[in-house]
Amino acid sequence: MTERNGSKGINQFTKDVLYDVLVSWTSKALGAAAVALVSMMVALIVTHWDVPAWTLVAMALLAITLLYLTRRVAGREANELRPKLGAAEKELDRHDSYGSNICSGLDTFQKIVAKDINMTMSSFIEQGLLIPARDVMQANGHPSDLRMSVLLAVEGHFSMVWASGHGVEAKQKYRVPIEQTISTVAFQKKVPQVWEDAPAEERGFVRNPKATRGFKSMVSIPILLGGKTAGVFNVLTDKKDAFDPADINYLTSLGSIIQLAFGLALKEIEKPKPQPQSRATPARVAAPRKDAGTLPSVAPRGSVGSSDTTDGKETSDE
């Protein structure tokens, strides 16, 4: 992996730096030669040096040729620069969208804490952070297979509490021993981990036989609660080497916000729901007739998961 990255870096340096320097120096050398030749011609004419006319003509033609070549090289340099400027503008737009998303998430979190917004922390993590973050990353060129999840460690197993890009059924059924997941590395080391090709890099990893969707690149960020690792924030895709430093910085910042909301969200989940109090029927109220109609019972709705449309039978082995 290191040798490959080193070779790739050298080739990129040769292409982006040495080539640009060579083109720039060539353009300047040709321009300087043309200026020097014209200056020499002017000096010969002004000082009335006795030189054949054909010499002046040859010098003039050579000066014109040098100026033409200078323009061609300068044009080549400009053509090489245009794509780089376009890429730089695109990169700035990506950083701006990432920064705006983080600021928006922090602003929403602050308003929820101040009770300016009537929204639970649990809903905020999934609907206010994960789903918008996935949309932002997809808008910036990432594949549609991008998936995000927050896994909670309970009794030696990971449970998928919040997610975006995973099916609702898969999220509800996800329960995998921590030591059987790649996420266990971030969970144990308490440091964000990045894999360019996760299955190949983790030799001891055994893929979940029930998993229907694989992955290649993965970022796993531990979520600490009271100094202990309570879970992980995972982002993965089926594309190799998908996350660059800008993506990783963005996801790390997003993980920090999730960590802020994590403890409060768990308290909401663990908080016991008030039981409805049954009221005794007064004796004077007549009992309902046996033939009286009753309202049909309403089937309970499933928990609202990610708004993304995914395969309901999908199972992940992250």
Provide the edge-to-edge strand list for the sheet that holds 228-237.
175-177, 157-164, 147-154, 228-237, 217-225, 193-195
* % pLDDT > 70, the chain: 60
Residue 106 maps to a domain: no
Q: Give the number of domains in the chain.
A: 2
Residues 63-95 pLDDT 10s: 777 666 776 666 665 565 566 655 677 788 888
Residue 109 maps to a domain: no
- Mean pLDDT within 116-130: 94
What is the C-alpha to C-alpha distance for residues 23 and 31, in angstroms, rounded to an integer?
12
Residues 213 and 156 in one domain: yes
The identity of residue 92, as a single letter, is L
Residues 73 and 133 in one domain: no
What is the C-alpha to C-alpha distance for residues 196 and 207, in angstroms, rounded to an integer?
17
Instruction: Burial-class residue 56 by CB neighbours within 10 Å (0-12, 13-18, 19+).
Output: middle
Residue 52 maps to a domain: yes
- Provide the phi-psi class of 156: left if phi over 0, else alpha when psi is between -120 and 50, else beta: left
- pLDDT, position 231: 96
Residue 239 maps to a domain: yes
Residues 166 and 238 in one domain: yes
Residue 264 maps to a domain: yes
- pLDDT, position 275: 56
143 lies in which domain range?
119-270
Residues 228 and 161 in one domain: yes
Question: What are the φ/ψ torsions at residue 309 (nearest 5 degrees)?
Answer: -85, 110
Nearest to 167 by CA among 35, 74, 16, 302: 302
Residues 241-293 pLDDT 10s: 899 999 999 999 999 999 999 999 998 877 665 555 544 444 333 333 333 33
Residues 78 and 134 in one domain: no
Residues 248 and 125 in one domain: yes
Query: 209-212 contacts: CB < 8 A, separation 24 or more?
Result: 210/315, 210/317, 211/315, 211/316, 211/317, 212/311, 212/313, 212/314, 212/315
Give me the residues paired with residue 163 across strands. Answer: 149
- Provide the phi-psi class of 149: left if phi over 0, else alpha when psi is between -120 and 50, else beta: beta
CB 218 within 8 A of CB 198: yes
Residues 154-196 pLDDT 10s: 999 999 999 999 988 888 889 999 988 899 999 999 999 999 8
Q: What is the CATH number of the domain that holds 230?
A: 3.30.450.40
Residues 211 and 162 in one domain: yes
CB 253 within 8 A of CB 223: no
Residues 164 and 265 in one domain: yes
